[in-house]
Structure 1
Amino acid sequence: MPQEAISDRYELLEELSHGGMGDVWRGYDAVLDRPVAVKLIRQAAVTSPQLAEEFAKRFRREARITARIQHPGVPQVYDAVLDASYERLFLVMELVDGVPLSAYLDPDRPLPVSWAAAVAAQVTTVLSYAHDVPVIHRDLKPGNILVARDGTVKVLDFGIAAMLRTDVTKLTATGSPIGTHQYMSPEQVRGGRITPQTDLYALGCVLHELLSGRLVFEAESEYLLMYQHVNAGPTPLRKLRPDVPEALEELVLHLLRKAPEARPADTQEVYARLLPFLPPTGQEPGTADAGPAGAPDPTGVFRHPFAPRARAQAPAPGGPAPTAVLPGAPPVPVPARLRDDIKEAYAHSDALLEEERFAQAAEVLGEVIEPAALALGSESKQVLALRRQRAAIHLLGGDYRAALPEFDALADAYARIAGPTGEQARACRAQAARCRAELGQVTDALAALQGVLNVVRAVDSDVSEEAVELRHNIGMLLLAQGRTAEARQVLEPLHQDMCMVFGPEDEMTVEIAEALAVIRLDLDGSAS
């Protein structure tokens, strides 16, 4: 793994996959503070210094072309980098959280017809946009197809095969055809002209495997495998799985015809023939539609097209209970190695915060939270402090959706340990309320802030630092909502208290005075 950042910007953090054309790493973009995927193209692709400049031109050209495929099923291409030595070639892309299609394949349990059709239909849609650019994938296979957590199918590695194709520049070391032998079309095996129908043949291989759990052809050697693709007829699906609809079997056999011109005319035709096997809009899955346990469901985008983001789910009942530290119980000693790891995580995270690298700073703390929770208990003082710091970083970085459930969970944990009116529980509930306000949940945010303020007033002064901040938050949130009369009722007594305790020149006092001045102008006639 390179120790230096790529182009002084992209850091390689963890290898995700190792493939024939290159390795994929989970990376970090230090400029935009976001995770990325970085594809390191095989160094063997460049066989001599004389070819390096030509490769650099092709690499950037193909990356630009790939970036023109505007479809949610194609991970965005962010950057293409060839380092100064011409020895390392990088493609920086969107990092997708999902499951590779290869993980769905099981010869003993073929996928439901609706799942296979849904995957194929989504791939077909992606190919239609690519072929319009035009871009031909050349290496479509289960390992290059990912099902994201929301069921969206992503097609990876567009343009990679084109970058490494054989022609006058002889960029492959062996001159062998580009592609994966199990999914390689007859024209690829022969070294013939590549067309969009080449991708349709590979799609036929993938769909056959999804429905049967078996490859179209299997052989002991690559030579025999390629020979079968050129000369042998595929086994009809219904001989392997009788419940496959006849029309779907016919489509797969049509996709797998040897001559490109004998296959379906285009992706639009393939999609139209898949439509009858997709679930209707609004239909919920039945027992026959159950796919692999825990795998994202690719039929969801057809059952609920353009559906809103799923609501956050409460933890399922019966899950593992938090391992709280009982009142009066002696604290669990922190092992020396773990203590060092926690200290290092804090230091590393703080250094990243100095550079405003919020996403990575939170991730660094996340890496030590799980082992600390296993060793010390999920509600030990050290683990809760780590979680609270991570939540605060999410809040600072503007990731309110990630911060909110963490602050809610922390408030509940602190309430179990020290009671619901405890200082730490109050602080976390207030932070959760601020997240809700940023996410547009204003009514809930105001109610939560007022609830915390009521507790603070019962246990502390109305002009304590905590109470003043809460009163200020409530007043400004009311003002932002146009509820000026209510905002005035909160801010006027707060301003009087601030002048008496902190002085009229205090920064917050001045801010409240300016807000009251705006209210008194009565611009909308509602503050009288």
Structure 2
Amino acid sequence: MGDVWRAYDTVLDRPVAVKRIRQQSLTSPALAEEFVKRFQREARITARIQHPGVPQVYDAVLDGSHDRLFLVMELVDGVPLSAYVDPARPLPVSWAVAVAAQVSTVLSYAHEVPVIHRDLKPGNVLVARDGTVKVLDFGIAAILRTDVTKLTATGSPLGTYQYMAPEQVRGGRITPQTDLYALGCVLHELLGGRPLFTAPGEYQLMHQHINAAPTPLRQVRADVPPPLEELVLHLLRKAPEARPADTQEVYARLLPFLPQPGEAEPEAVGPTGRPDPTALFRRPYAPRERGGRQQGQDAAGSPSTASPALPPPVPAQAQADIDEAYEHFGALLEEERFSQAAEVLAEAIEPAARALGAENRKVLELRRNRAAIQLLGGDYRAALPEFEALADAYARVSGPTGANARECRAQAARCRAELGQVTDALSELQSVLAVVRAVDSDVSEEAVELRHDIGMLLLAQGRSAEALKVLEPLHEDLCMVLGPDDEMAVEIAGALALIRLDLDGPPA
């Protein structure tokens, strides 16, 4: 699809990397438009991860004629991590742990955006000359989101089978814990000198990731400390929620095996000629703090009212301000500038609440649209408390079983699923579905979306039998109402095919 070239920025006098689309890949106007969108998403996603372990995006040239489509990025002078894996020459424990710790800090920043890498592997990790580890190809996350208007899209299996988590193999919902499993695979390979699992074909590898127990590292290499072996096995647990809570926990458990600030270079690193990834810990930096409440928001996720109250505008002026905000919001949405669109609505909410009342229909609609755009743009941590607060507000205004309250509860559950809180998400979605079934058809648009989400979450958790009971009748309903070529029907057919492969059973 594309090439990466070494180039030179003549204005700023520095070498750069240029990633460009091959003209022969643009076989139709529709495909060209799709590549432009994917390229733009890759540039935006990568640019949002502010960490030295992610190559910077300097510019994106997206020519309307499609003659020039390229990203200008930081040029990394480094070697892929895969080049250092050699069964005959084990890597020093401190070297491997320093690489894993650097990768975990990168993931902590990415997951805060939040972006899930989905294809973490030694070939996507470069070690620069100064020992800095760079994680490449976060663009995979962008490429998977081919339909940005679908808020609950799930990715079909995509990645490298040697490093794919069980839920990814099954085609279920991807969470930050998916990246933690891949990190466990990489660290096991660095310390053990060979991939976690090997097999002659993809099916056998898929089966091993779902069923086979990983070999404890101390059976391969006796000098691996027992707590480090325990951490790797924890990362490699089959169920996403059984793995470490987040990358901050992983980083904390790696720290005891890293050099302390001020220590000299480890003797095992220097003489080999390899870069020294432990240097950053002798001159340390740490992952960003865990996500918390945003400044300027109260516990309900609404803008703070600590600033001095202004005279309330007349209702006509309030309506004009709301109309202007929506007009600006719509223009930004067309350009997929989600963060800025959410800010535009946020600026309109507080004046409207003062003029019309905090639980006025128009004010709640502004807040709901802002939360929806935060969800659409991937800012699940900000959207979750707002949807929960809105569900409570709508319950007070129009009853807990009303359509708006149901929608906000479901959207809050989807945010929880994206943040890895799968058990809570499933419980809430099933609760909302029970209400929908009591007031509407089982094949209503709302019920179908809820049944789809529940089935895919069950599949991601490895609960294949339960997922089958949900997805099989849903597929039948979709085929009957919308036909087998419906987009969701096709997606569910693929999930059912994976279930029927019986990956949890003995290999074929």
Quickly say closer, same or farther: Cα 1:41–1:135, change in 2 above 3 A.
Answer: farther
Report the identity percentage: 81
Which of the residues 112, 123, 129 maps onto 2:92? 112
Which of the residues 303, 318, 331 maps onto 2:282? 303
1:239-388 alignment to 2 at 5 Å?
239-287=219-267, 289-290=268-269, 293-305=272-284
Quickly say closer, same or farther: Cα 1:249–1:76, change in 2 above 3 A.
Answer: same
Quickly say closer, same or farther: Cα 1:169–1:214, change in 2 above 3 A.
Answer: farther
Higher RCO, 1 vs 2 (CA within 8 Å, ≥6 residues apart): 2
Which of the residues 186, 191, 199 maps onto 2:179? 199
Q: 1:219 touches 1:225 (CA, 8 Å); kept in 2? A: yes
Q: 1:165 touches 1:178 (CA, 8 Å); kept in 2? A: no
In structure 1, what residue type is equivalent to 2:280?
V
SS across alignment from 2:262: coil
How many angstroms does 1:266 deviate by?
0.3
Which of the residues 142, 146, 156 maps onto 2:122? 142
1:464-475 alignment to 2 at 5 Å?
none
* CA distances 1:274-331 after superposition (whole Å, capped 9, x unpaired): 01000112222454x336722111011112348xxxxxxxxxxxxxxxxxxxxxxxxx
Instruction: Give the whole-Å Cα distance in 2 for the aligned partners of 1:266 and 1:193.
Output: 17
Instruction: Give the whole-Å Cα distance in 1 for the aligned partners of 2:165 and 2:67.
Output: 31
Structure 2 unaligned spans of 5+: 286-508
Alignment RMSD, CA only?
Answer: 2.7
Quickly say closer, same or farther: Cα 1:301–1:195, change in 2 above 3 A.
Answer: same
TM-score, structure 1 as length reference: 0.49
* CA distances 1:24-47 after superposition (whole Å, capped 9, x unpaired): 221223443321112235779877
* CA distances 1:401-443 after superposition (whole Å, capped 9, x unpaired): xxxxxxxxxxxxxxxxxxxxxxxxxxxxxxxxxxxxxxxxxxx
In our comparison, the structure showing a higher alpha carbon Rg is 1
1:128-527 alignment to 2 at 5 Å?
128-164=108-144, 177-287=157-267, 289-290=268-269, 293-305=272-284
SS across alignment from 1:243: coil
Aligned to 1:81: 61
How many angstroms does 1:169 deviate by?
10
Quickly say closer, same or farther: Cα 1:86–1:159, change in 2 above 3 A.
Answer: same
Quickly say closer, same or farther: Cα 1:65–1:176, change in 2 above 3 A.
Answer: closer
What number of residue pairs does the alignment pair up? Answer: 281
SS across alignment from 2:8: strand
Q: 1:80 touches 1:92 (CA, 8 Å); kept in 2? A: yes
When structure 1 is superposed on structure 2, of 155-164 and 49-58 the one drifting more is 49-58
Instruction: Give the whole-Å Cα distance in 1 for the aligned partners of 2:57 and 2:254.
Output: 29
Instruction: Give the whole-Å Cα distance in 2 for the aligned partners of 1:35 and 1:273.
Output: 37
Quickly say closer, same or farther: Cα 1:90–1:185, change in 2 above 3 A.
Answer: farther
* CA distances 1:208-234 after superposition (whole Å, capped 9, x unpaired): 011011101101112211221122111
SS across alignment from 1:38: strand
TM-score, structure 2 as length reference: 0.51
* CA distances 1:354-382 after superposition (whole Å, capped 9, x unpaired): xxxxxxxxxxxxxxxxxxxxxxxxxxxxx
Which of the residues 45, 55, 65 maps onto 1:65? 45
In structure 2, what residue type is equivalent to 1:300?
A
* CA distances 1:107-134 after superposition (whole Å, capped 9, x unpaired): 1112111111111111101110111111
Q: 1:136 touches 1:199 (CA, 8 Å); kept in 2? A: yes
Instruction: Give the whole-Å Cα distance in 1 for the aligned partners of 2:38 and 2:125.
Output: 24
Q: 1:165 touches 1:177 (CA, 8 Å); kept in 2? A: no
Aligned to 1:370: none
In structure 1, what residue type is equivalent to 2:119?
D
Aligned to 2:73: 93
Structure 1 unaligned spans of 5+: 1-20, 307-528
SS across alignment from 2:194: coil
Instruction: Give the whole-Å Cα distance in 2 for the aligned partners of 1:51 and 1:169.
Output: 18
When structure 1 is superposed on structure 2, of 267-276 and 139-148 the one drifting more is 139-148
